[in-house]
Structure 1
Amino acid sequence: MSDRFKDLKKLPAEPAARLLAATSTKLETEIDAPASAPVEVVMAELEEKAAWVDLLRLLSVALPPREVVWWACIAARDVVGEDATPSIKASEAWVFGPNEKNREAIQMALDVADMDDDTALVATAALYAPGNLGTGDMAQYQAPPAAVASCAFGMNMIAVSEAEDPLLHMQWVIDRGVDIARGGNGKVEVPDFDTSPVPEPDDEDEIEEEDV
């Protein structure tokens, strides 16, 4: 198994298939590993198959709630830079202080967020992370099972799509999630990953190969 996905102590011991099923999340890649395979094994297989989007999907359902919100916060800052939105600030405050007061601040940030503010995804993930729809009366209503993972996945995909080199940024996002899963803060260096296209033979080379 790839060393890239070892020692992920923050991830639950449940099989990857069970975590995916609990959030009604489906991978587009056919997995050869048995249904009992842990997350690390499935992630290594997805890496071998270069199924990067599915790897993000699996990370989004495997990371614990606070950790996945923090992962999304880092991606949100990729998009907006240092000028953090109220949604990002409130979500980061909740990560470091997961209490009801900070959840109320998240709700207020969502109430004033613009319709085109993608970072509202982070705030939605943070608001629902405790498992219900909010504070006060809303606490009696269960949050949708896939809400937190879907929002975190969406925020990371937006960061990837807006990057100068999306494939390289995808690897960076994955490494951040892996670092967080190991107990780190997700602040890792851009990986050394070659994203240059494989050169294709020109017509002359193809003709020469056919003649041989």
Structure 2
Amino acid sequence: MTDRFSGMTKTPQMPAARMLADANARLSVKLEAPASAPLDVVLTELEEKGAVIDILRLLGVALPARERVWWSCLAARDYVGEAPDNNTPALAASEEWVFRPTPENRDKAGATIDLAEPDDETVNCAMGVLYSDGTLGSGDLANVPAPLGAAEVVAFAMNVVAMDKHEEDFDTYVQLLIDRGVDIARGGNGKLDRENASAEKEE
């Protein structure tokens, strides 16, 4: 087994199947690994099967809340552009919450969702902030559970949106998204050069 997915110390120490179940998420491929298999084993099998979408889905489930939102923000920045000139309200507020995860910043991010332009996909980042603790917000909304797995699925969705905007270098970019998630799971900042992304394995 390769060490591409080793050392992901910020992810929960539980079977990958349990993480998926807790987030109401499913993979599209049938795994040979047992239900007790840890995250790195399942990710390695998915890589061997070429199931890159499932790898992204599982990373979105495995990353903790702040790291998950940061992963989605980096994907958004890939096509929106650098701050501050290319900020969207949702993206800027989401990044602010990552650096200072206060209730006030969470509310600020949540407030950008309804005000966003219809074609602003960066609201996925803000939704990840809003649902970060499994509820619909702060105050009275703290007692209202968010849809199961909502925070995880919007982070995955943000990466898929960014992926769809990189048709010219699709394979390389997908590997960057994966390596970025792994780096964040290891405690890194995820700011990897595209040239350093793992090359897609040949058949």
| TM-score (norm: length of structure 2) | 0.93
Consecutive unaligned residues in structure 1, runs of 5 or more: 199-212
Distance in 1 between residues matched to 2:44 and 2:199, nearest whole Å: 16
1-structure distance, mates of 2:198, 2:44: 18
Partner of 2:145: 142
Q: Distance in 2 between matches of 1:90 and 1:175?
A: 25
Question: 1:131, CA displacement in angstroms?
Answer: 1.7
SS of 1:165's partner is helix
The answer (yes or no) to whether the contact 2:136–2:145 under 8 Å persists in 1 is yes
Deviant stretches of 4+, over 4 Å = none
Partner of 1:155: 158
Matching residue of 2:179: 175
Judge conservation of contact 1:160–1:167 (CA < 8 Å) in 2. Answer: no
User: Secondary structure, in 3 states, of the residue corresponding to 2:4?
Assistant: helix
Aligned length: 197
Say whether 1:193 aligns with 2:199. Answer: yes
Percent identity for Structure 1 against Structure 2: 50
* Cα RMSD, aligned residues only: 1.5
Q: Deviations over 1:21-49 (max 9, x none)?
A: 11121111111111000011100111111
1:96 is matched with 99
What's 1:110 paired with? Answer: 113
Indicate conservation of the 8 Å contact 2:175/2:198, yes or no.
no
Match of 1:54 in 2: 54
**CA deviation after TM superposition for structure 1 residue 111, in Å:** 2.7
Distance of aligned partners of 1:32 and 1:192 in 2 relative to their CA distance in 1, 3 Å threshold: closer
- Quickly say closer, same or farther: Cα 1:10–1:194, change in 2 above 3 A: closer
Residue aligning to 1:184: 188
**AA aligned opposite 1:154:** A
Whole-angstrom CA distance in 1 between matches of 2:198 and 2:56? 19
Tell me the SS of whatever aligns to 1:125.
Answer: helix
Structure 2 gaps of 5+ residues are: none
Alignment of 1:76-95 (within 5 A): 76-82=76-82, 83-95=86-98
Q: Which residue identity is paired with 1:180?
A: I
Query: Which of the two has higher C-alpha Rg?
Result: 1
TM-superposed deviation, 1:65: 0.9
C-alpha distance in 2 between matches for 1:81 and 1:117: 13
State the SS of the aligned residue for 2:66.
Answer: helix
